[in-house]
Amino acid sequence: MRPYIFSFRLSGITIRAEPSWLFLVLLVAWSLAAGFFPDAAAGLSTPTYIVMAVASALGLTVSVLLHELSHTFVGRAFGLPIRNVTLFILGGAAELEEEPDRALVELVMAIAGPAMSVLLGFVFLALSPALGAAGAGIAVTAVVDYLALINFVLAIFNMIPAFPLDGGRVFRAIAWLVTGNRLTATRLASYLGEGFAWVLILAGAAFALFAGMAGAIWWVLIGLFLNSAARASRFEGEARVALSGVTAGDLIAPGTETAEPEMSVRRFIDERLVRHHSDWLPVVDAEGRIVGGAGVNQARAVPAADRAAMPVSHIAVKPETGALAGAEERADHAFMRMRRNGLPRLYVTRDGRFAGVLTLADLSEFVRLKALFDRVG
C-alpha cells in the first residue's frame, strides 16, 4: 500500500497526501522565502519571509484541495462514487471509482475545479485591498496577492487541453459528444495530452540547455508526468471497455497452487516454492478460508535451523485492505481498485471459500490480448 504523510476524512471523503506533496510544499516555501517575497515585499526580515512562505504553502494546499473537492462534490451529485482525494507532487486528483456515463456529466465535472480556482483567485484579489485598507501590513497583503495569483495559474494550467488535465477532460467530453464513443474520445484526448507533454519536455530541455533557464527543468518533469498519465489514462479507458461484462471469477487461473497454514516452512520451500517455481502463494486453511500469502522473502527471513519447526501460518502476510474480491465482482472494478491502491493481486472467493488469485499482470494481459484480437477482427 502507498504511504501517505497525512490522511483524514471530510464528508465521507478520504483526503490524503503522498510524500511527494511534502517535497512540493517545501520547494514552494523555499522559493517564496528566498526569492518571490523579498522582491514583492522588500525590507522585511528573514523570519517574516519564512512565515509568509509557510502561510502561502498552506494556502496553496487548501486551494488545491478546494479545487479537487469541487470535482468531487459535483461528481457525487451526479451519482459517481468518489471516496478519495489525493495530493501529490504535481497537484491533486479526485479518484473516480467509475467514469461518467454521459459526456455532459464529464464536462460539468471537469469545469468545476478550474471554476473554483478562478473564484478563489477573485476572492483573494478582492481581499487584498480590503485588508490593506483595514491596516494589515504588507506581509499579509503579499501572501493574499500570491494566493490570488497561484489560483489563477492553477485554473489556466488545468484548462490546457491535455488529458488527463481538466482541459483534456473537457476536450474528451466534447469529442465524446461529437463521436458518440467514449473510448474513441479517450484515445483522442490522450494522444493530445501526449503531444502537449512532448512539447513541454522538448521546450524545457531546450531552454535549460541553451538559454540557461534552470527552472525549465520543471517543464520537463511536468511533461514526463503528463506523458505517463495520458498513456495510463488511455490504457485504463481500454481496460474498462475490455473488462466490461467480465467478472473477477471469470479471469482467475484454474487450479491455483496454495499452501496449508500448518505445513512447515521447510516443506513450503521444497514442495511449493522450489518445485512449482513460485515466488508467492496464497495460504488457505482446510475450510477454504484465506489466511494470507507467503513467498520467497518471508521464507528466507526464517533462519534455516527454524524452518522445519515453524508453520507457514507464522510467516503468512494477511491480505491488504481491499485485497479480497468476490468471484462475481465486476472485473473493471477489481482492476481500478488494484491500480488505485497499488495492489499486486486480489484473493478471489466464491461462497466464502478461496477460488483463486487475480493479479494485475493477469488483467493487463487480458486487456492487451482482447484489444489485439478486436483490432484483428
pLDDT at 1 over 70: no
* Inter-residue contact 48 to 16 (CB < 8 Å): no
pLDDT confidence of residue 375: 56
Q: What tens digit of pLDDT does each residue of 71-88 get?
A: 999 999 998 888 889 888
pLDDT confidence of residue 266: 95
* Inter-residue contact 142 to 41 (CB < 8 Å): yes
At position 17, the amino acid (one-letter code) is A
User: What value does the mean pLDDT take over residues 10-33?
Assistant: 89
The 3-state DSSP class for residue 281 equals strand
pLDDT confidence of residue 2: 63
pLDDT at 257 over 80: yes
| Of the candidates 240, 111, 242, 244, the residue with the CA atom closest to the CA atom of residue 166 | 111
pLDDT confidence of residue 221: 84
Phi and psi based region of residue 277 (left: phi greater than 0; alpha: psi -120 to 50; beta: remaining): left
Distance of CA 70 to the CA centre of its chain: 17
Neighbours of 203 (CB within 10 A): 14
- Cα(63)–Cα(117) distance, integer angstroms: 7
* Inter-residue contact 358 to 341 (CB < 8 Å): no
- The residues, any chain, with a CB within 8 Å of residue 121's CB and separated by 6 or more, are 148, 149, 151, 152, 155
Q: What tens digit of pLDDT does each residue of 269-316 get?
A: 999 999 888 888 999 999 999 999 999 999 999 999 999 999 999 999
Query: Grid coordinates 506581509 are at which residue?
Result: 139
| Of the candidates 72, 32, 65, the residue with the CA atom closest to the CA atom of residue 50 | 32
pLDDT confidence of residue 47: 93
pLDDT category of residue 376 using cuts at 50, 70 and 90: very low
pLDDT confidence of residue 348: 92
**Least confident window among 10-19, 95-104, 317-326:** 95-104
pLDDT at 337 over 90: no
pLDDT confidence of residue 298: 94
Q: What mean pLDDT value characterizes the chain? A: 89
User: What value does the mean pLDDT take over residues 240-269?
Assistant: 88
Length of the chain counted residue by residue: 377
User: What value does the mean pLDDT take over residues 10-28?
Assistant: 89
- Cα(162)–Cα(191) distance, integer angstroms: 8
pLDDT category of residue 154 using cuts at 50, 70 and 90: very high
Q: What tens digit of pLDDT does each residue of 112-130 get?
A: 999 999 999 999 999 999 9
pLDDT at 215 over 80: no
pLDDT category of residue 347 using cuts at 50, 70 and 90: very high
pLDDT at 374 over 60: yes
